[in-house]
Amino acid sequence: MSIQSIKGVKDILPSDVYAWQFLESTARKLFEDYGFSEIRVPIFEYTELFARSIGTSTDIVEKEMYTFVDRDGKKITLRPEGTASVVRAFIEHKMYADNQLTKLYYMGPMFRHERPQKGRYRQFYQIGVEALGIDHPHIDIEVLAMLHSLFARLGISDMSLQINSLGDSTCRGKYRDALKTYLKDKLPTLCTDCRRRYDANPLRVLDCKVDADKFNDSPIMLDYLCDPCKRHFETVEAGLKGIGIPFLVNPRLVRGLDYYTRTTFELIMGNLGAQNTVAAGGRYDGLVQEIGGPATPGIGFALGMERAISLMDTAVFAAPKPLLFMAALGNEALALAMPTINALRISGLRVDMDYAGASLKSQMKKADKAGASFTLIIGEQEILKGKAILRNMRTKEQEEIQLHAIEKELRARFSSPP
């Protein structure tokens, strides 16, 4: 029996990869236009990093992380998200010492042991950004504007941006007390996870996938915001309106990670069913200090690449076609063609050929199937005459090219390839 891929993972095949490359290159260009720089962090870290940053009472840490003990006896976890690793690198390399504001982006695989379903995999890919160093609400607006622009450039519309504020350590305590009072009478009817989280972190109860419909009349954080948090959120709202980005305030929006403070948001696509969140993020002003660095505010987001690609018009992303197909008939012709093919490829031209020594008819079919613009034919007769035949595959017109100057002739003709 042949070995199959592991449940919950997916091969990205050549026919699909061009859409992925477009998404990656579009994101890179946009992020760098906004002054963000790429960072690449390891795919595994010490488990403590994620437990301290994401929160021990979250589904990710409790149920979904891929954790193992390595040969040194250390607990290691495959990264379930990117922010914690980026913040760890920010602290370890003292990136805060050089700039008041550090703007980073990343892309790559993440790992969570979730139930596989459409749009959700156990190895999945994310693109994310982090802006560390300034707590001004205009940074929040910039990050949200960049996210909005990215989906516009990808040709994805009909998205709904939902925002909320989760307050900070000053005002969240009063909300926590009000929420515990509200939940107390409901405890006997709630799931085991909710009852356990009631004391550890009651906000996590609102994010329950089992009992979420029981909390429609729960207290909301917006009613408990302190004045600084309230002004911050009002500035974000006004800024989004000022640059024409539509949004909806969702007072019951609670992200599934413990480190979020103040502004939090999700980008929703209504036709994806239960997995309708395409991108999400928020502010995490206490995370750097929690992990062991200096008090440093931050904000960021991550988007699921699989879900984004499912919303793109992938029909336009076809494999690049060769400019030239080399039809060499016989060993002498093949020996003559190889240096020319190599030189043309080095000069940046896309050239393909058949190495099996098939007939001219068979090779012309292959050239046509490959979508080549031109085919260069070299056989015994062409070698005797000292001239190859260049055929335009679209017009069917043919012309002769001197073999002794073939490389120079082709470079001159294809100096601006279609």
**pLDDT tens track for 142-183:** 999 999 999 999 999 888 999 999 999 889 889 888 988 888
Q: How confident is the model at residue 73 (pLDDT cuts 50, 70, 90)?
A: very high
Give pLDDT, residue 255.
67
Q: How confident is the model at residue 62 (pLDDT cuts 50, 70, 90)?
A: confident
Pairing of strands 351-353, 324-328: parallel
Distance of CA 50 to the CA centre of its chain: 20
Range 93-118 average pLDDT: 90
Q: How many CB atoms lie within 10 A of CB 343?
A: 16
* Integer Cα distance of 363 and 26 in angstroms: 37
Give pLDDT, residue 271.
57
Q: Which residues contact 196 (CB under 8 A, 6 or more apart)?
A: 57
Give pLDDT, residue 417.
45
Give pLDDT, residue 303.
96
Give pLDDT, residue 418.
44
With a pLDDT cut of 90, the percent of the chain lying above it is: 60
Give pLDDT, residue 258.
67
3-class SS of residue 265? strand
* pLDDT > 90? residue 276: no
Range 348-371 average pLDDT: 90
Phi, psi dihedral angles at 165 (to 5 degrees): -125, 135
Is residue 125 within 8 A of residue 309, CB to CB? The reply is no
Q: What is the DSSP letter of 321?
A: P
Q: How confident is the model at residue 81 (pLDDT cuts 50, 70, 90)?
A: very high
> Measured between alpha carbons, how far is residue 132 from residues 59, 91, 165, 229, 263 in Å?
26, 11, 18, 18, 14
Tokens standing for residue 114: 């979730």
Is residue 306 within 8 A of residue 124, CB to CB? The reply is yes
Is residue 133 within 8 A of residue 102, CB to CB? The reply is yes
Give pLDDT, residue 295.
93
Give pLDDT, residue 272.
54
**pLDDT tens track for 390-411:** 999 999 999 999 988 888 888 8
**pLDDT tens track for 180-195:** 888 888 888 888 878 8
**pLDDT tens track for 295-319:** 999 999 999 999 999 998 887 787 8
Of the listed ranges 72-76, 242-246, 411-415, the least confidently predicted one is 411-415
Of 161, 141, 140, residue with least CA distance to 242: 141
Q: How confident is the model at residue 213 (pLDDT cuts 50, 70, 90)?
A: confident
pTM of the model: 0.85
Is residue 54 within 8 A of residue 84, CB to CB? The reply is yes
Of 250, 264, 251, 254, residue with least CA distance to 299: 264
Mean pLDDT of the chain: 89
* pLDDT > 80? residue 283: yes
The residue assigned the tokens 């982090």 is 130
**pLDDT tens track for 252-275:** 887 656 678 999 999 998 655 556
Alpha helices, H only, 164-285: 172-184, 192-200, 203-206, 227-242
* pLDDT > 60? residue 388: yes
